Structure 1
Amino acid sequence: MVGAPPSYDPNLVHAVIPEGLSEGIPAADLDTAYVKDKLVKEKGVKSTIRPETLKGHVEAAHAEIAEAENKKLLAVLPDGVESAVNEAVAAAGNELLLMVARQHSNAQALAESACDELRADKRNAQYRISELEGELAKVKEERKALEDQRHALAEELAAAREELRIAHSDLKRLGDQPNGIDRLLEELRNPEVRDDIRAALSEIVTNPAPLPAK
């Protein structure tokens, strides 16, 4: 957005500042406030002038005066000074470029070394990952073998328990049955077979078995 044109002639600013310099006032004191005061009191400019616009004219006037002073100083230099300075500046520029180039080369070397270390770390990490994956696979295999073994042992234990149960059952059944002597006594007490048993005993007593030959 373009501002409104100033209500004063900008050339007045370029007149106020040289006048102040000629009076021995330091350039730093010839600021916007000083110039505005001079314009209002001595140049008939209204006090409503905008400081923002005035500041730009003051800075431009100072730059113009400094440039003119520099040209004046350069104009009175002896012959050959300018070329000597240019050569010195060129040499300094070359030295500066060489210094920057060395630093750049060193930085590249350091960066390359860091990259090599990072690549080595990456390879080591990948190798370690492969080792861990192999160990994990081995652990999984061993775990599966242990689970299979546990399952087989569980089946064997179940079978042994079943065999023990059957043995207990058979033992109980056998324990509940009468033994041979009990059965014999029971038969002897039976009146139905008592006469037969007496006859058999009488026969054994009457006709004993011959003794074996010596």
Structure 2
Amino acid sequence: MTRTSERKKQGGRPPSYTQEQVYGVIARLIACGTPSRAIDASMVKQELCSAFGISPTVRPESLQKQVDIVLSDYESDEADALLRSLPEMVTASLDHFMQGAREAFALMVARQNARCQAQANNACEELRAEKRTALWRISELEAEVHRLEKNRQTLISERDHHLAEAEKLREKIRSDDEELNRLRGANELVQLLVSQLQQTGHEDMPRAAESASLQDRSAAKRA
């Protein structure tokens, strides 16, 4: 009854009964053979009204809360009383048994924890191995990217060099074409001179030579 008397009453209008009265009614009902699970607010209200003259206007809802509290305290008090009634030898045996059971349970938990820890360590090691493999692969790919970039720069340099060489060759071809055209013009003049010499004879050679010389200088200026 100690825990029941120590409970603080709820706020609101004070009830017309006390917790001690409720506790006494419930204790008497249980002593008379009423199962605790069958005791409710209606049964307690009826006993309060008949035993203590409590007003029948008591609200079942608020009384049920008190009944639940008192039943819990009564069962707890009853359990404590039963445990205190055990012989000391039985209590010592129970303590020894519980100690052994506790150690067995603790050992089972420890073994399970060791297995879980081993599995976790294996999983972590696998993840670390995968991470190392991934990092190694990343370094390989980065090296390959660097190599390809270097090759690209080399190809760009070679392309620019070849383009410059091609431009030089085109310029030389243009120069050679001009020189070839100039030589063709000079050859045509020589052919013309020879033709004139054949037609006019030796007496006209100085005049033909002078004409060819003038044409040659004119062709050289055009070149």
> Could you say which residue in structure 2 is the equivalent of 1:113?
122
> Could you say which residue in structure 2 is the equivalent of 1:98?
107
Q: TM-score, normalised by structure 1?
A: 0.71
Distance in 1 (alpha carbons) for counterparts of 2:43 and 2:153: 95
> Could you say which residue in structure 2 is the equivalent of 1:138?
147
Distance in 2 (alpha carbons) for counterparts of 1:103 and 1:25: 47
CA spacing shift, 1:39–1:153, aligned 2, 3 Å:
farther
CA spacing shift, 1:5–1:165, aligned 2, 3 Å:
same
Residues 50-73 of structure 1: CA distance to partner in whole angstroms, max 9, x if unpaired?
Answer: 83x544422221123213432454
What is the aligned-residue RMSD (CA, Å)? 3.3
**Where do residues 130-209 of structure 1 align in structure 2 (5 Å cutoff)?**
130-176=139-185, 178-186=188-196, 195-196=203-204
Distance in 2 (alpha carbons) for counterparts of 1:72 and 1:196: 163
Distance in 2 (alpha carbons) for counterparts of 1:187 and 1:35: 160
Match 1:29 to one of 38, 42, 48:
38
Report the secondary structure of 1:143's partner residue: helix
Q: TM-score, normalised by structure 2?
A: 0.68
> Could you say which residue in structure 2 is the equivalent of 1:11?
20
Worse-superposed segment, 129-138 or 96-105: 129-138
Match 1:66 to one of 72, 75, 82:
75
**Overall identity of the aligned pairs, in %:** 29
User: Unaligned stretches of 5+ in structure 1?
Assistant: 198-214
Distance in 2 (alpha carbons) for counterparts of 1:84 and 1:18: 32
- Alpha carbons 2:19, 2:70 under 8 Å: kept: no
How many angstroms does 1:94 deviate by?
0.6
Distance in 2 (alpha carbons) for counterparts of 1:41 and 1:166: 138
- Alpha carbons 1:6, 1:49 under 8 Å: kept: no
Report the secondary structure of 2:99's partner residue: helix
Which structure would you say has the larger RCO, counting Cα contacts within 8 Å and 6 or more residues apart?
2
Residues 9-55 of structure 1: CA distance to partner in whole angstroms, max 9, x if unpaired?
Answer: 2223223333443565432232346545765788534646483x544
> Could you say which residue in structure 2 is the equivalent of 1:206?
none
Distance in 1 (alpha carbons) for counterparts of 2:120 and 2:42: 55
> Could you say which residue in structure 2 is the equivalent of 1:201?
none
Amino acid in structure 2 at the alignment position of 1:154: L
How many angstroms does 1:140 deviate by?
1.6
Residues 79-127 of structure 1: CA distance to partner in whole angstroms, max 9, x if unpaired?
Answer: 6222212211111001011111112222222222222222222222222
User: Unaligned stretches of 5+ in structure 2?
Assistant: 1-9, 206-223
Report the secondary structure of 1:152's partner residue: helix
Distance in 2 (alpha carbons) for counterparts of 1:171 and 1:34: 136
CA spacing shift, 1:48–1:58, aligned 2, 3 Å:
closer
| Equivalent residue pairs, number | 193
Amino acid in structure 2 at the alignment position of 1:195: E
Distance in 2 (alpha carbons) for counterparts of 1:37 and 1:171: 139
